[in-house]
Amino acid sequence: MSQVWLIGDPVAHSLSPAMHNAAFAALGLPHRYEAREVKAEQLAATLERMRQEDVLGANVTIPHKEAVLRLVARVSDEARRIGAVNTITRHGGLLHADNTDGHGFRTALAEAGLEPRRVIVLGAGGAARACVVELLRAGADVSVANRTRERADRLARSVEVDRRRARAIAWPSQHDLDEADTVVNATPLGLQNEDPLRGRTLPRAIVDLVPAAVPTPLVKRAKATENVTVVDGLSMLLHQAARSFQLWTGLEPPVAVMRAALPRPV
Ligand code: NAP
């Protein structure tokens, strides 16, 4: 039996173990996906143990997604471009880092039939960077608004696709929202019942990355609003997980089984 680890802090409420363990069981694989709470000062030692033990790989989550870049033998072009890692695969004693968030985001949008053209991304962390790369690749016009403006400026300066970049803006006004067709929430706002667009009229599409067991207030409001398309964080979670599963096992992921292991239908 090989293991796959989830490395982060906190990890207790993660929905990933249910999805991956259901997928291993469905394919008759004797593997086990385990969440491990790892503090920053334990990260290097944890990766060292991964190199030595019977571990296929890992998912990496907050707060280690950037630190891992400096601790592995190889980093994929995708992870380097995004500047963050969410998946590690072990090849012999060497660890390779990758990022499947962009794949998850792209597939979730495609599944909803969404082709955003004018997009506001809320947040400027690793998830926002993955989304901005994908949106620029798809030719969209992208604005980034973040609580800490300097980080949005940095994202706009450092992420470039085909010589195109996002622009940094202040937290969106109603006028900004009226000009956009889609808002992507790439902050944790919603986990504590917040609505990042409270009091504002929504654009035609809402993509909320927060992978919550119950729908966030933004997702609930968008679903209750006529003519608004909603992409729930669980959908991106599913598709990034499926791609990670493929990287660890080399097998076609049983997506229907993984979807059924989520706490609600998406
Ligand atoms: P991160 O790198 O830590 O970035 C967090 C971002 O959220 C930063 O821009 C931060 O702003 C902002 N933020 C945090 N608390 C805030 C608050 N109270 N008000 C306003 N802004 C706030 O995290 P991440 O990896 O990008 O993840 C962001 C979100 O995406 C999380 O909810 C995560 O669970 C979700 N996510 C979902 C998936 C999926 O598959 N569905 C995949 C990846 C991530 P500052 O710069 O000002 O701190």
Q: Is residue 266 part of a domain?
A: no
Q: Answer whether 17 contacts ligand 1 (Cβ < 6 A).
A: no
What's the CA-to-centroid distance between 128 and ligand 1, angstroms?
Answer: 8
pTM of the model: 0.97
Say what the pLDDT of residue 1 is.
84
Q: Answer whether 210 contacts ligand 1 (Cβ < 6 A).
A: yes
Q: Is residue 21 part of a domain?
A: yes
Domain range for 65 is 2-99+236-260
- pLDDT means per 10 residues, the chain with 266 residues, are 96 97 98 98 98 97 97 97 97 97 98 98 97 98 98 96 97 98 98 97 98 97 98 98 98 98 96
135 and 76, same domain (yes or no) = no
Q: Is residue 88 part of a domain?
A: yes
76 and 109, same domain (yes or no) = no
108 and 225, same domain (yes or no) = yes
Pocket test for ligand 1, best of 147, 208, 216, 232 (most atoms within 8 A of CB): 147
Which residues make Cβ contacts (< 8 Å) with residue 15, sequence separation at least 6?
A: 211, 213, 234, 237, 262, 263
Say which CATH number the domain at 249 has.
3.40.50.10860
Say which CATH number the domain at 220 has.
3.40.50.720
63 and 175, same domain (yes or no) = no
Say what the pLDDT of residue 157 is.
97
Between CA 238 and CA 208 the distance in angstroms is: 14
78 and 174, same domain (yes or no) = no
120 and 216, same domain (yes or no) = yes
Between CA 63 and CA 248 the distance in angstroms is: 22
